[in-house]
């Protein structure tokens, strides 16, 4: 089976034998993909000429209605997405739910909140700026949907959510989308696009799909397009420095690697509620999606006197975790996505081992449920410990994109903040403490280098949304190494797909444009 691409409102098979998609638990080939010989420039032009204009004729509410229909179609096919997640990602039910249900929830969320913008066609920002003595000439800022295409180059770990969390705000903005899922796991995004196309919800050119490497994609982007990339920092640097992207000042949003931190505050002794909550969170983060989440906790900072107790508590739980083929319902931890990722994880793990003690796991050979280690791509859940985090380098620098985390001892809040900052910009940090002074010091010390901070005290307890869980109402993204991008955050996400401009003119002109606009205040409410 070679999965076709969807361009110019038609399914088109790429040339050549294509690249295989593989089941990471069995090594079996599932399908093939190819982007060879596709007319990508023509497809982008088709979207700009056909998809965009039809979408932009609709109001925000009408586009929100389209998203609602998409949400219904995706919900109706949820079981099939779980099946593909199992085959192509080795996903347990919990892993599949995180991606698939997260995707569906996000589409429905934007369908719901998009209605607040009502019949607007663009956005009016701020008050009128007087520019003349009598007030006959003044300025008004607006934001208008771009007339280009939103191009999504996505990572392998969230084929469903990665597509939907970007497509929902773009389509709500009136901007057509072209998604290029990561090659190894393209099947799930392919199926979702196929279902949306078959349901005939969107106008031709509103959604396009390229499965395969498509390395020349960026050579065809133009000034009005937007590139939204998720993946490794190395590829991000290549995307940013693409000559065509630079020459045309194409807007680029990047979500990349992140060495995320979780912090146990002082005074959270073993047996306390917060100690228990962070143990639970660390376990979830290590095992869910086999640690292949951009937001996964990579470093767990604990007061030095709690290091041993914390490592024992997490290890005790890890001991009961079964790793293997998720077709067996006893399995808690699935594989990483393929042999190449397994090799990358083991290489990164060796770098961490050079500076850290192995507390749990760390073996290349370990017991697997219903899987052949030669054919599959598993990594043993591994907990490491670092006594001297200030002197360590790799702990703050090497992202092992798998079920691996490092405990780091700290002695005071200054050292703690300094170490979190050595991640050089992260997506998320979580702080578990009842000490409000400590919480404030930590938040203020690291906020400029973190996109999201989760603060948990006893009053919040288990009601927090989770360290690794990205909720569509809150910002996803982080500065520096994490890419500097911003996604979600409710209707703020629409800003990426709109362009700000100001009109300086008479009141009649400004009033006419204002009548077409929803107020940007709604975006921040
Ligand atoms: P990757 O190797 O950087 O690939 C990401 C995407 O870029 C894939 O679709 C890939 O296509 C494409 N690509 C690679 N080189 C390209 C080029 N020269 N021009 C255009 N496209 C190119 O990353 P990955 O291995 O899929 O994902 C893992 C990484 O993503 C992790 O480091 C993780 O931290 C990060 N991540 C971040 C977030 C976030 O929201 N911040 C979320 C998930 C993952 P092919 O697959 O066809 O090569």
pLDDT in tens, 207-223: 999 999 999 999 999 99
Confidence of residue 416 (pLDDT cuts 50, 70, 90): very high
Two structure tokens written together for 97: 């739910």
Catalytic residue among 19, 165, 255, 355: 255
pLDDT in tens, 294-329: 999 999 999 999 999 999 999 999 999 999 999 999
As for ligand 1, residues whose beta carbon falls within 6 Å of it are: 153-158, 180, 182-183, 213, 215, 217-218, 230-232, 235, 238, 255-258, 294, 399, 401, 427
For 449: left if phi > 0, alpha if psi spans -120 to 50, otherwise beta; the answer is alpha
Catalytic residue among 8, 294, 345, 386: 294
> Which atom of ligand 1 has the smallest separation from the CA of 478?
41
Rounded Cα distance, 58 and 172, in Å? 10
pLDDT in tens, 109-146: 999 999 999 999 999 999 999 999 999 999 999 999 99
Q: What are phi and psi of 30, to 5 degrees?
A: -110, -40
pLDDT in tens, 32-59: 999 999 999 999 999 999 999 999 999 9
- The SS3 call for residue 112 is helix
Mutate to test the pocket of ligand 1, among 36, 214, 235, 476 (most ligand atoms within 8 A of CB): 235
Quote the pLDDT of residue 442.
98
pLDDT in tens, 61-115: 999 999 999 999 999 999 999 999 999 999 999 999 999 999 999 999 999 999 9
pLDDT in tens, 153-203: 999 999 999 999 999 999 999 999 999 999 999 999 999 999 999 999 999
Confidence of residue 525 (pLDDT cuts 50, 70, 90): confident
DSSP state, residue 458: T
Is residue 374's pLDDT more than 90? yes
Rounded Cα distance, 68 and 70, in Å? 5
Please, what is the average pLDDT of the chain? 98
């Amino acid at each position: 089976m070679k999965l076709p691409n969807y361009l110019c409102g038609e399914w088109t098979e790429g040339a050549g034998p294509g690249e295989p998609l593989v089941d990471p638990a069995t090594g079996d080939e599932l399908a093939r993909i190819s982007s060879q010989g596709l007319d990508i420039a023509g497809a982008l032009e088709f979207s700009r000429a056909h998809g965009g204009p039809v979408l932009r004729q609709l109001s925000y509410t009408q586009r929100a209605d389209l998203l609602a229909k998409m949400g219904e179609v995706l919900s109706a096919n949820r079981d099939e997405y779980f099946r593909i997640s199992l085959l192509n990602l080795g996903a347990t039910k919990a892993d599949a739910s995180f991606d698939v249900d997260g995707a569906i929830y996000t589409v429905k969320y934007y369908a719901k909140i998009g209605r607040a913008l009502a019949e607007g066609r663009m956005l009016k920002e701020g008050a009128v700026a007087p520019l003349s003595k009598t007030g006959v000439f003044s300025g008004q800022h607006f934001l208008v949907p771009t007339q280009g295409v939103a191009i999504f180059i996505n990572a392998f770990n969230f084929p469903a959510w990665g597509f939907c969390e970007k497509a929902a705000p773009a389509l709500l903005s009136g901007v057509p989308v072209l998604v290029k899922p990561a090659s190894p796991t393209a099947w799930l995004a392919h199926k979702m696009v196929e279902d949306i196309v078959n349901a005939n919800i969107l106008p031709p050119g509103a959604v396009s799909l390229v499965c395969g490497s498509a390395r020349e994609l960026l050579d065809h982007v133009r000034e009005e397009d937007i590139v939204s990339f998720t993946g490794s920092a190395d590829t991000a640097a290549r995307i940013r420095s693409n000559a065509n992207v630079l020459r045309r000042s194409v807007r680029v949003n990047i979500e990349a690697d992140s060495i995320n931190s979780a912090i146990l505050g002082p005074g959270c002794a073993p047996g306390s509620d917060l100690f228990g909550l962070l143990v639970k969170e660390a376990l979830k983060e290590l095992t869910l999606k086999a640690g292949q989440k951009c937001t996964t906790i990579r470093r767990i900072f604990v007061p030095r006197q709690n290091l041993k107790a914390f490592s024992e508590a997490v290890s005790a739980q890890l001991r009961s975790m079964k790793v293997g083929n998720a077709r067996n319902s006893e399995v808690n931890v699935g594989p990483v996505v393929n042999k190449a990722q397994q090799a990358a994880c083991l290489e990164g793990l060796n770098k961490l081992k050079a500076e850290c003690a192995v507390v749990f796991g760390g073996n290349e050979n370990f017991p697997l449920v219903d899987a052949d280690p030669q054919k599959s791509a598993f990594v043993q859940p591994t907990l490491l410990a670092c006594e001297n985090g200030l002197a360590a380098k790799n702990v703050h620098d090497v992202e092992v994109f798998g079920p691996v985390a490092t405990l780091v001892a700290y002695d005071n809040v200054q050292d703690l903040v300094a170490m979190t900052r050595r991640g050089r910009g992260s997506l998320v940090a979580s702080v578990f403490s009842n000490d409000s002074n400590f919480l404030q010091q930590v938040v203020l010390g690291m906020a400029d280098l973190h996109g999201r901070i989760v603060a948990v005290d006893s009053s919040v307890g288990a009601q927090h949304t989770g360290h690794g869980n990205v909720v569509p109402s809150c910002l996803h993204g982080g500065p520096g190494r994490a890419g500097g991008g911003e996604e979600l955050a409710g209707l703020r996400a629409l800003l990426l797909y709109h362009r700000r401009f100001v009109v300086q003119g008479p009141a009649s002109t400004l009033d006419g444009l204002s009548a077409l606009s929803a107020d940007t205040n709604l975006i921040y409410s």
